[in-house]
Amino acid sequence: MSSQDMSMIDLLQLEKHQLSRVNKNVLVNCIIAFKTVLGELQQKLDDITRELAALKRKIASPQSTFNRKLSLMQDQIDKQTEVIDRQHSFLEVIERRERETKLIVLGVPDEGESLAGDNGHDMEKLSKIWSELDEPFHIESCWRLGRSEGGGKEAK
């Protein structure tokens, strides 16, 4: 082989060596760049994950607050219903007792008519009727139901 051939072979080997060195450098630079990009992508993914978790908390917080307030309102409604039921029962008892103390007397003469010894007032008529029964009874008030036969208004 001639020296020129030798130098050509050396040159080819040198080129291959340099090419492989250049390819290695490019590959190393690509790997480094990839690591950098991968790190940035990982950071962005972590940021997105944190933001998603924060959004979930924001959504869950009003919902739990709403549920808590709704539960408190339901408790208040239940208590008020219980109070109303007790008041209703109490009023029924009072009404029943009040009805027990009321007496309806039929056949009391109208205003134009009178009983012996009264002056035409309903209270005196009832007192006279009651005195005939020999029962101790105190009349607090009386009402005439309906219209009198004379067409007058209700008397008290």
* Domain layout of the chain by residue ranges: 3-94, 103-156
Token look-up 């109208």 returns 110
The model carries a pTM of: 0.40
Q: b/e string for 110-121 if b means 16 or more Cβ within 10 A? A: bbeeebeebeee
pLDDT of residue 46: 96
pLDDT along the chain (156 residues), means of 10: 59 65 74 87 95 87 83 96 97 89 73 54 72 72 66 46
CA–CA distances in Å: residue 63 to residues 52, 69, 83: 17, 10, 30
